[in-house]
Amino acid sequence: MKGTELNLETKKGEKLWNVNFISLLGISILTFLAFYLVYPLLSKYSIGLGASLSMAGVIVGLFSLTALFIGPFGGILTDRTSKKYVMIIGTFINGIATLGYSLAPNIGLLIFFRILHGASFSITSATSVAWAIEFIPKERMGEGIGYLGISQIIATAFGPEIGIEASNRFGISKTFMVSAILIIVAALFMNFLPNKSKPIKKNTLTKKRAIHLKDIIAFEVLPLSFFGGLFFMGNGLVTSFLVLIGEQRKIAGVGMYFVVNALFLIFTRPVAGKLYDKKGLATVLYPALLCGIVEALLLGHGSFLWMIILAAIFKAFGQGFAQPALQAECFHKMGSEKRGLASSTFFIGANVGQGVGPLVGGVVASNLGYDWVFNISALMLVFGIVCYTIYNRKEAVK
C-alpha cells in the first residue's frame, strides 16, 4: 500500500496544479497573511514602547539579521531531515514569537521575540520553497515558483491594510494575537500534506553527519543571492517606513500601495516564471532592476497618493519579475539533492537586504530624511545592473 501511495503521488506531481500544490498555496496564504498583519506595525509599536526612530529600525531589522545567521542552517535541516516536520515546528514557533510581541511590556522582551521570530521564519522560508518543489514538475519550475509567490502576493494585498485598520480599531496587541492564531492554525493544516522527504541511506549516514562550510552556503549561487537581496532591501524599506512617510507627508491611504502592488504581482510573477523557463535569467532581470530604480525614486520623492500607487506598480514589475527567476536559477544550478541549500543561500541576500535596509534606513531617515533612504536604494539597484552585466558575461564564457 505504501508503494502504491508513493506512485500515485509521483503521478500527481507531474501536473503543476495537483492537490498537494494547491493545498500548500492555501497554507502559504494563511502564514503570509499573518506575517503582513504584523510587519507594517512594528516600527510604530516599538516607538510606542519608548524606542527612538533609529532604534525602531534596528528592531525591525533584527528579524532579517537573525535570519542571516540562522537561515543557512535551515538548508542543512531541509536537505537532511523531513521538510514537512521542519515546516510544522518552525511555523509553530513563528506563532509563539508573534504572540510574544503582543505580551512584551518593554523593548528588551520585544527584541527577544523579534530574534526568535527571525530565527524560526528563516528556517521555514528556506524549507517552504524546497518542500513545494517536490510537487512541481521540473520543466515548469520557474512557473511553479511564480505561482507559489501568489500566496505572498494575496497576503501582501490584504495583510498590511487589514493590520493597519485592525490596529486602529482594536489596538496593535490584539492584532498581533490574531496573527499568532492564524500562524498556529497553518501549522496544524500542514499535518495533512504528504511527507516525501527521502531518508538518509545507512551507508551515507557517517558522511552526512560531518558539516562543512559548503553544506551551509552554496557559493555557486551567492551572486544570485546578492541580486535578490537588492530587491529585498527595497522591500524592507517600504514595509518599515511607508506608514511613517504617509504621516509625515500627509498622504492619506498609503496602505493602497500594498493592494495595488499585490494585484499587479498576480500578473507579473507567473509571467516572469514562464519567461524565465523559455528565455533565461537575463531577459527577466534587466527590466526588473530598471523597474526597481523607478519605484525607489517615486517613493523617495512622491508627495501624492498617485505617485505612491505608481511606485507600487513598478515594484510589481521589479521584484515580481526578479524573485521567481532568481530562485529557479538557484535550484537549476544546485540540482534536486541540494534544494534546501539552494533556497537557504538565496535567502542570505534576502535577509541581508531586508535586515540592513531598515537598520541603515532608520539612521539615514533621522539625519537626511526619507527621500535619501530611497535615493540610496535606487543607487544600489544601479550598482546591481553593473554587477549583473559582469556576472552574465562570465557565465557566458563557461
Average pLDDT over the chain reads 81
Confidence of residue 378 (pLDDT cuts 50, 70, 90): very high
Q: Would you say residue 245 has pLDDT above 90? A: no
pTM above 0.75, yes or no: no
| CATH number assigned to the domain covering 14-192+217-397 | 1.20.1250.20
pLDDT > 70: percent of the chain: 87
| pLDDT the model gives residue 209 | 54
Residues 140 and 277 sit within 8 Å (Cβ to Cβ): yes
Q: What is the pLDDT of residues 48-67, one digit of tens each?
A: 888 887 788 788 878 767 87
| pLDDT the model gives residue 144 | 75
| pLDDT the model gives residue 203 | 45
Q: Where do the domains of the chain lie?
A: 14-192+217-397
Mean pLDDT of 276-286: 86
| pLDDT the model gives residue 198 | 52
Q: Would you say residue 7 has pLDDT above 70? A: no
| Single-letter amino acid, residue 11 | K
> In the 3-class helix/strand/coil scheme, how is the chain assigned residue by residue?
CHHHHHHHHHHHHCCCCCHHHHHHHHHHHHHHHHHHHHHHHHHHHHHHCCCCHHHHHHHHHHHHHHHHHHHHHHHHHHHHCCHHHHHHHHHHHHHHHHHHHHHCCCHHHHHHHHHHHHHHHHHHHHHHHHHHHCCCCHHHHHHHHHHHHHHHHHHHHHHHHHHHHHHHHHCHHHHHHHHHHHHHHHHHHHHHCCCCCCCCCHHHHHHHHCCCHHHHCCHHHHHHHHHHHHHHHHHHHHHHHHHHHHHHHCCCCCCHHHHHHHHHHHHHHHHHHHHHHHHCHHHHHHHHHHHHHHHHHHHHHCCCHHHHHHHHHHHHHHHHHHHHHHHHHHHHHHCHHHHHHHHHHHHHHHHHHHHHHHHHHHHHHHHCCHHHHHHHHHHHHHHHHHHHHHHHHHHHHC
Q: What is the pLDDT of residues 161-200, one digit of tens each?
A: 788 888 888 888 899 999 999 999 999 998 888 776 554 4
Q: Would you say residue 11 has pLDDT above 60? A: no
Residues 229 and 380 sit within 8 Å (Cβ to Cβ): no
Give the Cα separation of 132 and 20 in Å (integer): 9
Residues 35 and 180 sit within 8 Å (Cβ to Cβ): no
